[in-house]
Amino acid sequence: MNDDYYELLGVSRDASTDEIKKAYRKLARTLHPDVNPDPEAQEKYKRVSQAYETLSNAEKRRLYDLGGGPGSPMGGGFGGAGFDFADIFDMFAGASGMRGRAQGPVPRQRRGGDILRRTEISLKDVVFGTERELSFRTAALCSVCNGSCCAPGTSPTTCTVCHGTGHVQRVAQSLLGQMVTMAACSACQGHGDIISSPCTECSGHGRVQKEQTVTVRIPSGVEDGTRIQLRGQGEVGEAGGPSGDLYVELSVAHDDLYERAGDDLLTRVRIPMTSAALGTSVPLTTFDGEQDLEIKAGSQPGDVLTLKGLGVTALRSERRGDIKVELDVVVPKNLSGEEKELLRAFAAKRGEEAPRHQGRKGDGGVFGRLRDAFRER
């Protein structure tokens, strides 16, 4: 019977692939043998399936529109002798994918997608480690069908077209003889079974969109841009398939007091030149609380003092780096007349009325070298 496939599916000749698929599914719900035992309905279902199989494939549809496919106005190529251009195309192209793998139904379950989320942490969080609660919307297992995709009390039924194999054989006569090709069953989309009563909560997908909250443990010693992988915390797969992974990318916020160099923390303390000359004690704010920084008499600009064990806790270790403090000795400006006289007298006492030393230009200071070494690692 040479049906007009477009008329059989109830679509226009310029219908899109999605429109053809929707029309076929609508007809299949009423004509499929599992829901309609009438012999005439079963016969029409076979013709509808043939129409869908042809029009849903771009190459077969092109051949059909040219009059070279079954059911076309020309009744098949080569004078209506039943020679099918689409079968030849399947034999050399489309069917090769079926022969290249083990034949069998295609599982409905698929692995879920991975998720990437970003969160900001402080330098203190880097020093000690921390935890973060992240909330995001993602695909979660349907609580009504538990991933079965079926309405409660129902289950998939074996496809009567492919008998659960997920594929069908097609036999065609060609110039080379009888050709047998394999194709995915269009009735069950290659799954081997049909869900006649899909779950209304998830529309037969086995998963729904939900708000998810995950606690992320962030270890000490991480760096800006570090990604933490949480296996199985991503999207739940189709039909209750395995979940993907969650990746949390860390961004370390700028700190006003400290800069990191490896596992050490760098900072700078400004002191007057009198304190540098006489020595003093300065309260220093650290992530472990306030510490007394002892500055010896005669300390020089650029000197670096070390507070042991108060830096960053190394990644996967309990060892901590140090705090390194660079001294910034402030030379006073706008001296009064009396202050100038006192300084001149002091300089004369020490024989320092004029500088006598000439040296090479500095290389950026201790901090510059520390930062460069850390960045080159």
Rounded to whole angstroms, the Cα distance separating 103 from 169 reads 11
In this structure, which amino acid lies at residue 95?
A: A
Residue ranges at the known binding site: 142, 145, 159, 162, 185, 188, 199, 202
Query: What is the architecture of the domain spanning 115-150+204-252?
Result: Sandwich (2.60)
In the chain, domain spans: 115-150+204-252, 157-194, 259-375
Please give the Cα distance from 252 to 132 (Å, whole number): 13
Q: Which residues contact 9 (CB under 8 A, 6 or more apart)?
A: 20, 23, 24, 27, 48, 51, 52, 55
| Residue for token pair 């007009």 | 4
Fold of 259-375: HSP40/DNAj peptide-binding domain (2.60.260)
Annotated binding residues for Zn(2+), written as ranges, equal 142, 145, 159, 162, 185, 188, 199, 202
Q: What is the pLDDT along the chain (377 residues), one digit of tens a residue?
A: 567 899 999 999 888 998 999 999 889 888 887 778 788 888 888 898 999 999 999 888 888 887 655 555 444 433 333 334 444 444 343 333 334 344 678 899 999 999 999 999 999 999 999 999 999 999 999 999 999 999 999 999 999 999 899 898 877 766 666 677 888 898 998 999 999 999 999 999 999 999 999 999 999 999 999 999 999 999 999 999 999 999 999 999 999 999 999 999 999 999 999 999 999 999 999 999 999 999 999 999 999 999 999 999 998 888 999 999 999 999 988 889 898 889 889 888 888 777 665 554 445 555 666 666 555 55
Q: Same CATH fold, 259-375 and 115-150+204-252? A: yes
In this prediction the pTM is: 0.62
Residue 216 vs residues 109, 116, 220, 250, 317: alpha-carbon distances, Å: 28, 13, 13, 11, 19
* 22, 289, 324 from 52: Cα distances, Å: 10, 74, 74
